[in-house]
Amino acid sequence: MKPILFLIATFLFGSVVPVMAGAVVKKESPAQIAAKKNFESVKASSASGDAVKLRELADLYYSGKGVARNYTEAYKSYLASAEKGDVLSEATVAWMLRNGQGVAKDYKKSMEWYTKAAEKGHVEAQLGLAEIYYNKVGLSSRDYATAYKWYLIASGLGSKDAKAFIPRMVQAVLKEPNVNVEQKTAAEKAAQDWLAAYVKK
């Protein structure tokens, strides 16, 4: 009986000890150590409230570089940066609000942030805004004319996606009963005026 107990004990401890030893012996790679140091450095510098540093901190939380991935903390830092006028953070806050990432979904606030970034010339925000109007995300009805305006603006700023989508819109929805001629013309003029004003900035 004793040899059997010894074998059982050896089997149990033999299988446990290497696992425990592996956990203790495991070392961080130089890249992991550098990433953690970078995170701590960015976190410390973001305490000044600088919009770019806050966005950098948010990026690290979002991607999990040097710290455990944390969308809630990422959202907080992006929001703090967006409130200081950082256009990249404004667009990211809009996206996170729309998708409920790190924060509860809020389509109204998402549109507000998309609009702020879109008005500053952020093409992805313009596409996001156009898509919201096109697909009536959080809206009571579709607004093809406004979607068309933002797709035209994004296309005017070089978006290949917008440029490719516009002909499909024209063929499929930019006609009665969805959009009348006056609405289509008004959207085109609004886009031209916006682009002309943007170039002058």
Taking the model in full, what pTM does it have? 0.82
């004003």: which residue's tokens? 197
Print the SS3 string covering 4-21: HHHHHHHHHHHHHHHHHH
CA distance 146 to 179: 10
Sign of CA dihedral 137, 139, 145, 146: negative
pLDDT tens figures, 32-46:
888 899 899 899 999
Query: What pLDDT is recorded for position 201?
Result: 79
pLDDT tens figures, 117-163:
999 999 999 999 999 999 999 899 999 999 999 999 999 999 999 99
Q: Tell me which residue of 123, 79, 87 sits closest to 71, measured CA to CA.
A: 79
pLDDT tens figures, 66-116:
999 999 999 999 999 999 999 999 999 999 999 999 999 999 999 999 999
CA distance 134 to 144: 5
Q: Tell me which residue of 73, 75, 81 sits closest to 51, measured CA to CA.
A: 81
